[in-house]
Structure 1
Amino acid sequence: MAYWLFQGNPKYYRVLDGIRDFQQMPWLVTRYRKDISVGDGVLIWKAGSAAGVYANCGSDCTRRAPQRHSRSQLLD
């Protein structure tokens, strides 16, 4: 089992709202996606002035087609 740090920038995504409101959060992985396995640990890091780890969760490694979201869905 490995742990992965996923960084969310609040300038582009409402990280805390996503943690609170979603049972699962899709996350674009650009590096190491072939190395992430089902059950690996995932730490969600919020960048910015209040930076830190805000969630400790697991990976389900489901491959999904990219989704389009409106800016209002992602930003404050």
Structure 2
Amino acid sequence: MSPTSPPSVPPVTQNTWIFQAHPSLYRINEALKIEPKELWNINQHAKKVRRGDRALIWISGDHAGIYAIGTVQHDPIMQPDSDIGQAYWIDKRRGQAVKPRVEVVYDRILLNRPLSKAMLRTDLALIGLSILRYQRGTVFPVTPQEWMAIETWLEDDDTSAI
């Protein structure tokens, strides 16, 4: 009698996305200090963002960069922002709008040591990073090679895990 092999299961692919927040529209700095998770608008790539994907939270503006890392908890759902999330919108109507959204649970908060846009621009492996080329939008894909380069920047600071 020969042992049977376990059925082969295709590997789960984890995509990485940059979710951009605009402090002039949403009080993201405040939210990251308090909230362990948030709903995020998926204005682009709604058919590609999936449960289990990695989310890099980018805050735009004068000190632009990656300020948190999290995990997408479910596929996009058409819904308004949560009651908690709506409290952070400058214009409450934006939070009440029904849009594709995903919940992101934060795994690391980098408020004290963000990966700044200026730092990331010095890395030749990130020369094609979509958010560095096109700032308009809310969701930007990150290639596996770009994630590996970003991950090396994160290795210097392991004190920010939550």
Classify the TM-score, shorter chain: 0.7 to 0.9
SS in 1 for 2:40: coil
Structure 1 unaligned segments of length 5 or more: list them. Answer: none
Structure 2 unaligned segments of length 5 or more: list them. Answer: 1-13, 91-162
Deviation for aligned residue 1:61: 2.2
Identity of aligned residues (%): 26
SS in 2 for 1:33: coil
Deviations 1:25-63 (A, max 9, x none): 111111111211111100000000111100011101252
Larger radius of gyration between Structure 1 and Structure 2: 2
Equivalenced residues, count: 73
Structure 2 residue corresponding to 1:74, chosen from 84, 89, 92 = 89
Residue in 2 aligned with 1:65? 79
| TM-score of the aligned structures, taking structure 2 as reference length | 0.41
Query: What one-letter code is carried by the residue in structure 2 that aligns with 1:44?
Result: I
- Rounded to whole Å, the distance in 1 between the matches of 2:27 and 2:63 is 13
Query: What one-letter code is carried by the residue in structure 2 that aligns with 1:65?
Result: Q
- Rounded to whole Å, the distance in 2 between the matches of 1:47 and 1:65 is 24
| TM-score of the aligned structures, taking structure 1 as reference length | 0.82
Is residue 2:52 matched to residue 1:36?
no
Query: What one-letter code is carried by the residue in structure 2 that aligns with 1:14?
Result: R
Deviation for aligned residue 1:20: 1.7
More helix by share: 2
Deviation for aligned residue 1:17: 1.3
